[in-house]
Amino acid sequence: MTMRIPLLTLAVALGLWGCSGGSGGSSARPGIASATSARFTITIPAPSTASSRARHPAYVSPATSLVTITLVSVNGTAYTGTPASVSTDVSACMAEPCTYTVIAPAVAGSDVYTIATYNSTGSLLAEATSTLSVIGGIANTVTTPLVLGGVVYAIKIQQGVTNLPAGTAASVPLAVAVFDPSANQIVGSANFLSSSGTALTITLTDTDTSGLTGLTTGTSTTPQTSVSLTNPSTAVTLQYTGATPPGGSLTVGINAMVSGGTIGGTITPAALTIGP
């Protein structure tokens, strides 16, 4: 049985303050101002309702145990200070709202951070990149919405019907369920990611070569042999023209493949018959 598990929303508020000669400045690369610190306040509310999920498409897997924040670069130059990353155990925050404060490195300028979440076995579940402008010597307060892209482990394609009568045009919505390494369904609007954090594209293909069926999305209403998905919010529909299949019946398969990286789990295709 497929279960859609409610996920947790994640809001991040950042209070950043610059000062001259902060600790860690000697470790920075030449040409980069002295390092100081950034205070990340991570608030993980209780599981949201279906209606609130629709309004706030930023999600964290229920299996999240660790959040790691890394300062990647400053003004386009790789940050080489120590430490560049800090991690916080959030495993206790699975049932009710809770807040964690994390002190991460910061340098005056344009700072690029990655925020990554992991499960209890160390598998990457989701990741996001955020660019923050830090001004030295004054208090910097920024509230930044954070949308994490889920790491794809497995894909399951489902359709509401398994048989269509021949001779009657029909539209069949397809449910493309995408799961993270902890078997929780990925939802929201952020792009899919591979296990290494690269952008992942899922391509669905209609195996029917007769031209009687095709796939459409919200942005592509002309039936196609294949359509590409980069995030969970894209709806896919199988369209049948209503013409009688050669021989009176036809089996249509919907397969999937990924590009941009690999996944560790399985891909489960869908199939339906048209006629007799």
3-state secondary structure of 263: coil
Which of 149, 169, 189 is where one domain is finished?
A: 149
Question: What residues contact residue 153 under an 8 Å CB cut-off, 6+ apart?
Answer: 179, 180, 181, 183, 195, 263, 264, 265
Question: Do residues 47 and 62 both lie within one domain?
Answer: yes
- How far is the C-alpha of 134 from the C-alpha of 105, rounded, in Å? 11
Question: Do residues 121 and 192 both lie within one domain?
Answer: no
Which of 110, 134, 149 is where one domain is finished?
A: 149
pLDDT tens track for 141-196: 666 667 788 999 999 999 888 899 999 999 999 999 999 998 888 888 889 999 88
- In this structure, what DSSP letter does residue 91 have? T
232 in a domain, yes or no? yes
Question: Do residues 105 and 13 both lie within one domain?
Answer: yes
1 in a domain, yes or no? no
β partners of residue 129: 114
Question: Do residues 142 and 167 both lie within one domain?
Answer: no
3 in a domain, yes or no? no
Question: Do residues 188 and 58 both lie within one domain?
Answer: no
2 in a domain, yes or no? no
β partners of residue 179: 154, 185
Of residues 24, 12, 263, the one with CA closest to residue 117: 12
- How far is the C-alpha of 64 from the C-alpha of 184, rounded, in Å? 10
pLDDT tens track for 105-139: 888 889 999 989 888 899 899 888 888 888 776 66
230 in a domain, yes or no? yes
Which of 120, 149, 178 is where one domain is finished?
A: 149
pLDDT tens track for 201-237: 999 999 999 999 999 997 777 899 999 999 998 999 9
Average pLDDT over residues 44-63: 49
14 in a domain, yes or no? yes
Question: Do residues 31 and 76 both lie within one domain?
Answer: yes
Which domain CATH number covers 225? 2.60.40.10
Q: Where residue 66 falls among pLDDT bands split at 50, 70, 90?
A: confident
Domain that includes residue 173, residue range: 154-274
Domain count of the chain? 2
Three-class HEC string of 46-79: CCCCHHHHHHCCCEECCCCCEEEEEEEEECCEEC
What does the block give as tokens for 17?
Answer: 């303050």
What does the block give as tokens for 23?
Answer: 């600790």
